[in-house]
A and B are shown apart, each in its own frame.
Chain A
Amino acid sequence: MNAILVAVIGMVVFALGYRYYSKFVAERIFRLDPNYVTPSHKYKDGVDFVPTNKFVLWGHHFTSVAGAAPILGPAIAVYWGWLPAFLWVILGTVFAAGVHDFGTLALSVRNKGQSVGTIADRLIGQRAKILFLFIILILVLMVNAVFAWVISNLFIKYPASVLPIFIQIPLAVWIGYAVYKRQKKMLVPSLIALAVMYGAAILASQFSWLQVDLVGMMGGEEGAGLFGLGSVSTAFLIWIVVLMVYVYIASTLPVWKLLQPRDFINSHQLVVGLGILYLGLIFTNPTITAPATNATTDVSWFPLLFITVACGAISGFHGLVSSGTSAKQLDKETDARFVGYLGAVGEGVLALISILAVVTLFPSAAAFKTAYSSFGAANAGGLGNFVEGASLLAGGIGLPAGIATTIVSIIIISFAATTLDSSVRLMRYIIAELGMEYKMPVLAKAHVATSVAVLSSAALVLIPKGPNGFGSGGYLLWPLFGTANQLLAGISLMLIAVWLKRLGRNYMVAIVPMIFLLFMTLIAMFQQVFFQWSWWGTESNMLLFVFGAIIFVFAVWIILTAFSVLTKGIQPKLPVKD
Chain B
Amino acid sequence: MDILEKLKTMIRYYEEVISLPHRREIAAELRDEDDLFLLLLYSEMVGIPNPAYYYTLELYPYMLEKFHDWHLRMGMEKSPLAGFRCC
Contact = CB atoms under 8 A, between A and B. Distances in A.
Nearest to A254: B29
Interface string A170-184: 000000000110000
A8 interface: no
B74 to A, nearest CB: 14
Contacts of A264: 18-19, 22
A190 interface: yes
Interface in A260-304: 260, 263-264, 267-268
Interface stretch (A46-54, A451-459, A562-570): A46-54
Interface in A85-105: none
Nearest to B69: A45
Most chain A C-beta atoms within 10 Å of own C-beta, residue among B15, B18, B23, B69: B18
Interface in B22-41: 22-29, 31
B58 to A, nearest CB: 26
A57 B13 CA distance: 10
Given A180-B29, A186-B19, A59 B13 contact: yes
B17 A260 contact: no
A190 B18 CA distance: 10
What's the interface size class on B, roughly?
A: 20 to 34
A187 B31 CA distance: 24
A189 B13 CA distance: 17
Contact of B21 (A45, A187, A263): A263
Interface in A41-77: 45-48, 50, 52-53, 55-57, 59-60, 63-64
Given A59-B17, A187-B11, A187-B15, 4 more contacts: A186-B19, A187-B14, A256-B22, A264-B22
18 contacts: A47-B31, A50-B24, A56-B17, A59-B13, A59-B14, A60-B17, A64-B21, A179-B26, A180-B26, A185-B15, A186-B18, A186-B19, A187-B19, A254-B29, A256-B29, A260-B22, A260-B25, A264-B19
Interface of A: 45-48, 50, 52-53, 55-57, 59-60, 63-64, 179-180, 185-187, 190, 254-256, 260, 263-264, 267-268, 325, 329
